[in-house]
Amino acid sequence: MSDQPFALLLAGPTASGKSALALALAERLGGTVINADSMQVYGGLRAITARPDAAEEARAPHRLYGVHDAGTAASVAWWRGQALAEMAAARLPILCGGTGLYFNALTEGLSEIPPVPPEAREEARGLLAALGPAALHARLAEADPDTAARLRPSDSQRLARAWEVWRGTGRGMAAWQAVPGTGPAQRDGVAWRFAAIRLDPPRDALRAAIGQRWQGMLAAGAVEEVAALVARGLDPTLPAMRAHGVPEIAAALRGEISMEEAGRRACLATGQYTKRQATWFRHRPLAGATDTHTIHARVAGQEQFSESEWAEIIAFIDRRR
């Protein structure tokens, strides 16, 4: 046993079964599941983001699920601060999600970017809405080519963030990120130790799971959730309004497409996103983790692990904490 505090990272693409595995581990090991998914932090999106339901949350402690209002964007820095507080209070923190930037914020740290004036943020959102992400990317490439080179032209949220940082601070995000920042996560001045379990199921199994997940979301009230969001008149560029399934169901509610077509589009978009997630975790390993145990064979949670598989998972964790 080390004097350093220990936390487990549980990462993988959407619909790979992370939540089910995290819950099972929390029950077996007395852990606390801490959300590391950038969409599941928002309130009012339990069904559409396939968050753990009330019965699952009652079986083991769950933190940072549905805690941020959908009407404002939750920053990585905000999440990091909340996660560190929850980790300090947990016997075994199990950080569960598919957002690589969240994990990196803990294991590598964040750049100390100054607060951005509201007018810069409003300008960025306005340009994104008026021009679209590709045109905003082109403008960013002229103003801040180093940052633009790191971003996909379709990544609207990060493009808007990059524009507001450049306009609001006079320096681009790439320049800020080159300056030493917070450093890896610590508790009482002692660095956290991390080990990771990564889910990487076969593509065909993941595609099937995405389809099943969509049907489960509908049955759990996803349409009603999206209707409530739409009724608030929220900015469509907000992260919560771009969660997979929200734009598609909103279009169906407006009568622009059928609900069947909404499902087809949402599952397609989710599948494309999972490819990017899998690529991230394969080619950019979870930096800061002492070791990573990868599960390839299945979508976790769809069937029970055998006792030998459980023994291997538990032994991996025990050897590293």
Report the pLDDT value the prediction gives residue 284, as an integer from 0 to 100.
64
What's the chain's average pLDDT?
A: 90
Question: Can you tell me the mean pLDDT for 246-270?
Answer: 97
19 is in an annotated binding site: yes
* pLDDT tens per residue across span 32-87: 999 999 999 999 999 999 999 999 999 999 999 999 999 998 989 899 999 999 99
Per-residue pLDDT at 95: 97
Q: Which carries the bigger pLDDT value, residue 285 or residue 119?
A: 119
For domain 6-110+182-320, give the fold.
Rossmann fold (3.40.50)
> Is 16 part of any known ligand binding site?
yes
Compare 3 and 181 and report the one with higher pLDDT.
3
Lowest mean pLDDT among 171-180, 228-237, 285-294: 285-294
- Residue 259 is predicted with a pLDDT of 96
- CATH number of the structural domain 118-177: 1.10.20.140
- The domain locations on the chain are 6-110+182-320, 118-177
| Lowest mean pLDDT across 217-221, 260-264, 274-278 | 274-278
Determine how many CB atoms are found less than 10 A away from the CB of residue 306. 9
Q: Is 14 annotated as a binding residue?
A: yes
Percent of the chain topping pLDDT 90: 64
Q: Which two tokens stand for residue 87?
A: 């980790």
Asked if the model's pLDDT at residue 287 lies above 70, the reply is no
Q: Is 18 annotated to bind ligand?
A: yes
| 13 burial via Cβ count (<10 Å: 0-12, 13-18, 19+) | buried
Mean pLDDT score, 152-159: 87
Strand partners, 51: none
What pLDDT, on the 0 to 100 scale, is given for residue 288? 62
pLDDT at 111 over 90: no
What H or E segment, with its residue span, contains residue 76?
A: helix 76-89
Dist CA 201 CA 205 (whole Å): 7
Alpha helices (runs of H) in the chain, residue ranges in sequence order: 18-29, 54-59, 76-89, 100-107, 118-131, 133-143, 145-148, 156-169, 173-177, 203-219, 222-231, 246-253, 259-283, 307-320
Percent of the chain scoring above 70 in pLDDT: 94
State residue 302's pLDDT score.
56
17 is in an annotated binding site: yes
Tell me the C-alpha to C-alpha distance, in Å, between residue 17 and each of 14, 23, 279, 304. Answer: 8, 10, 18, 11
pLDDT in tens, 163-222: 999 999 999 988 887 776 678 889 988 999 999 999 988 999 999 999 999 999 999 999
